[in-house]
Structure 1
Amino acid sequence: MSITKQYLKSKPECKITFCVPAKEAHKVEVAGDFNSWELSELKKYKNGNFKGQFNVPVDQKYQFRYIVDGQWINEAEADGYQWNDFAAAENSVLEV
């Protein structure tokens, strides 16, 4: 898994690209603070990677998790992790 950050020069935003290698998976989604915890499906590519992009305001921290075929998982390369009492699990943290 990986996250790419591209800071935009034209406005105070960062383009975040999520990439989840999951050849055997049928569906990968991401949910977090940046999309009001709505499930956003990532696009599957022929190489087995799922990708999606979001523009988010800078100078903030965002909690998020992936959902791979119904299983909630964290990003191994996250900027950090934060405990979530509601889910009784840690969320990945993205700092931009």
Structure 2
Amino acid sequence: MAISKQYLKTKPVCKVTFTVPAEDAKKVAVVGDFNNWKATEASALKKLKNGSFKGTLALPKENSYEFKYIIDGDYVNEPEADRYQWNDYAGAENAVLEV
């Protein structure tokens, strides 16, 4: 799994690209504070020929966001997250993205 960040000079946003290697998965989405934890078309990652899933979101800069991946219905943390934060509602740690 991987995250790459591209800060735009002309806008106060960061383009964040999420890459998830999940060859056997049928669906992968990224959910978090930025989309009310809802898997939508915009948060769905597209399957590539190499079997990984990839997608890019434009997020406002100077914020932090809790997030997870949903891989075929299972919530999974990003191992390369900027940090982790306990979430009482989920009863687990969430990955945190700092942009």
**TM, length-normalised to structure 1:** 0.97
How many residue pairs match? The answer is 96
Runs of 4+ in 1 over 3 A off after TM superposition: none
Q: Which runs of 5+ in 1 are unaligned?
A: none
After superposition, the CA RMSD in angstroms is 0.7
- State the one-letter code of the partner of 2:95: S
Q: Which residue of 2 aligns with 1:87?
A: 90
Match of 2:79 among 59, 76, 80: 76
- State the one-letter code of the partner of 1:63: E
> Following the alignment from structure 2 to structure 1, what is the Cα–Cα distance between the partners of residues 59 and 77?
19
1:1-96 superposed matches below 5 A = 1-39=1-39, 40-96=43-99
Q: Which runs of 5+ in 2 are unaligned?
A: none
SS in 2 for 1:34: helix
1:64-96 CA-partner distances (Å, limit 9, x unpaired): 000111110100000000011111010000001
1:29-64 CA-partner distances (Å, limit 9, x unpaired): 110111221112110011011011110111110000
SS in 1 for 2:62: coil
Identity %: 62
**TM, length-normalised to structure 2:** 0.94
